[in-house]
């Protein structure tokens, strides 16, 4: 398997960046348990995806009648959200599904359409690209990434867990049966004119989004986690060809990262920050998204996880008690009492939150794995 040496460099947590995000625990807890982490606890976007019996033709043209049944997402924003300026080019996505596939259409405004990566599993984000991140199980582990450029070159990979938690990309994974097409509103790799943009159309089989031998089929009300990223490089024209703009030291200027649902940090591999995709077969237009109660509980687990990771960087070990982070063991969510607990050693931890009414427990460990434990009581 070809190693992808620069992926971790691009996506791994920067101690400098996160150091600026986190305040000292003592100061933070005097105000709010989330204070200082506000950008990591904004509410992710959501999208109601409707079922169709006649799928779209995958030809890059997203103006056919079936796509008129799908709503556009909001315009993309900077990956860090309100921490950075709004993108200067527009990007939107719409989605549909049927009994076999997830369908995605994207529109990207772009005055200079270019792409040079030509081979499957080339590092597509070295060009301007469009990226999809999908987590059917919503555990923050075992998720999928698909990238495409204006040449319709695909880079697809599977992540056992995020890079921040020691994850390794499985580049040999392919989205078997996936169909994709590009349509350019202008001319490719021609700096002599001004383009309008490019569109992407994809059909991703549900059976491809699984490492087992069965399809993970959604049903009415199923909720997945999903996000989209657009990588945009500053360029200049040299000898009739687009090349990346460089800084005063001769290095490529950093790429722009624009996304549907803000991550709050310059890292797409925070799956807990992706948007919510809710499936429905109801076509009366009355389906709305309601944040699942469990997702509200998980916010406190992620809070413990972020605090523990900060503590580990500062002390070379994990914290042993909630009190070390100024956290209380009683949490009210929608007027329902929950018990928050921490079981930890210096080298590993598990945080648990239990609704005192239904006794359902959710957990997170030091690798950021979210799981549900049923009928297990922590008194």
Does 132 share its domain with 165? yes
Which of 235, 257, 280 is the C-terminal boundary of a domain?
A: 280
Does 98 share its domain with 246? yes
Residue 134, domain CATH: 2.60.40.1190
3-state secondary structure of 172: coil
Query: Which pLDDT score is estimated for 285?
Result: 76
Provide the token pair at 204: 């991703």
374 against 232, higher pLDDT: 232
Does 128 share its domain with 58? yes
Does 79 share its domain with 157? yes
Provide the token pair at 118: 């030509």
Query: Which pLDDT score is estimated for 379?
Result: 38
- What does the alpha-carbon distance between residue 266 and residue 278 come to, in Å, rounded to a whole number? 26
- What does the alpha-carbon distance between residue 76 and residue 254 come to, in Å, rounded to a whole number? 18
Does 60 share its domain with 199? yes
First-to-last alpha carbon distance for the chain, in angstroms, is: 48
Which of 252, 280, 308 is the C-terminal boundary of a domain?
A: 280
| 267 in any annotated domain | yes
Query: Which pLDDT score is estimated for 22?
Result: 44
Does 232 share its domain with 92? yes
- pLDDT for 229-240, tens place per residue? 999 999 999 999
- pLDDT score of 27 more than 70: no
Does 180 share its domain with 54? yes
Does 190 share its domain with 238? yes
- pLDDT for 83-106, tens place per residue? 899 999 999 999 999 999 999 999
Does 68 share its domain with 156? yes
For residue 126, what are the domain limits?
42-280
Q: How many domains does the chain have?
A: 2
CA nearest to 264, candidates 93, 33, 31, 45 = 45
- pLDDT for 187-203, tens place per residue? 999 999 999 999 999 99
Residues in the chain: 379
- What does the alpha-carbon distance between residue 232 and residue 130 come to, in Å, rounded to a whole number? 9
| 325 in any annotated domain | yes
Does 108 share its domain with 134? yes
268-292 average pLDDT score: 94
- pLDDT score of 212 more than 80: no
- pLDDT score of 24 more than 50: no
Whether this model's pTM surpasses 0.85: yes
Which of 280, 303, 327 is the C-terminal boundary of a domain?
A: 280
Does 268 share its domain with 306? no
Query: Which pLDDT score is estimated for 211?
Result: 82
* Residues of the chain above pLDDT 70, percent: 89
- What does the alpha-carbon distance between residue 249 and residue 22 come to, in Å, rounded to a whole number? 30
Q: Furthest-apart CA pair in the chain: how many Å?
A: 71
- What does the alpha-carbon distance between residue 80 and residue 83 come to, in Å, rounded to a whole number? 6
Per-residue confidence band for 1, with pLDDT thresholds at 50, 70 and 90: very low
- pLDDT for 339-356, tens place per residue? 999 999 999 999 999 999
Mean pLDDT of the chain: 91
- pLDDT score of 9 more than 80: no
| 156 in any annotated domain | yes
Does 155 share its domain with 249? yes
Per-residue confidence band for 214, with pLDDT thresholds at 50, 70 and 90: low
């Amino acid at each position: 398997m070809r190693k992808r040496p620069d992926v971790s460099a691009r996506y791994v947590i920067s101690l400098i960046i996160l150091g600026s995000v986190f305040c000292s625990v003592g100061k933070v807890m005097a105000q709010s348990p989330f204070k200082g982490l506000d950008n990591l606890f904004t509410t992710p976007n959501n999208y109601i995806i409707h079922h169709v019996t006649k799928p779209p033709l995958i030809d890059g043209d997203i103006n056919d009648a079936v796509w008129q049944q799908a709503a556009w997402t909001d315009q993309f924003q900077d990956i860090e959200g309100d921490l950075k300026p709004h993108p200067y080019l527009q990007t939107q996505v719409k989605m549909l599904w049927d009994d076999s596939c997830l369908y995605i259409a994207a529109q990207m405004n772009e005055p200079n359409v270019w792409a040079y990566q030509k081979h499957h599993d080339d590092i597509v984000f070295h060009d301007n690209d469009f990226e999809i991140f999908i987590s059917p199980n919503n555990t923050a582990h075992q998720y999928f990434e698909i990238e495409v450029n204006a040449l319709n070159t695909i880079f697809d990979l599977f992540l056992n867990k995020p890079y921040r938690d020691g994850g390794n990309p499985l580049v040999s994974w392919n989205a078997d049966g996936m169909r994709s097409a590009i349509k350019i509103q202008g001319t490719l790799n021609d700096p002599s004119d001004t383009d309008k943009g490019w569109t992407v159309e994809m059909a991703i089989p549900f059976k491809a989004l699984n490492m087992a031998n069965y399809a993970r089929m959604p049903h009415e009300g199923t909720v997945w986690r999903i996000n989209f990223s657009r990588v945009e490089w500053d360029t200049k024209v040299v000898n009739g060809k687009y090349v990346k703009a460089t800084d005063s030291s001769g290095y490529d200027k950093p790429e722009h990262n624009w996304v549907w649902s803000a991550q709050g940090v310059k890292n797409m591999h925070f799956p807990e920050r992706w948007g919510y995709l809710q499936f429905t077969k109801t076509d009366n237009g009355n389906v709305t998204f309601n944040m699942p109660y469990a997702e509200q509980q998980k916010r406190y687990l992620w809070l413990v996880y972020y605090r523990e990771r900060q503590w580990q960087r500062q002390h070379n070990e994990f914290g042993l008690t909630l009190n070390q982070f100024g956290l209380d063991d009683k949490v009210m969510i929608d007027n329902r009492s929950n018990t928050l607990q921490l079981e930890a050693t210096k080298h590993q931890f598990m945080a648990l939150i239990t609704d005192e009414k239904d006794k359902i427990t959710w957990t997170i460990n030091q690798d950021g794995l979210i799981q549900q434990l049923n009928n297990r009581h922590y008194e």
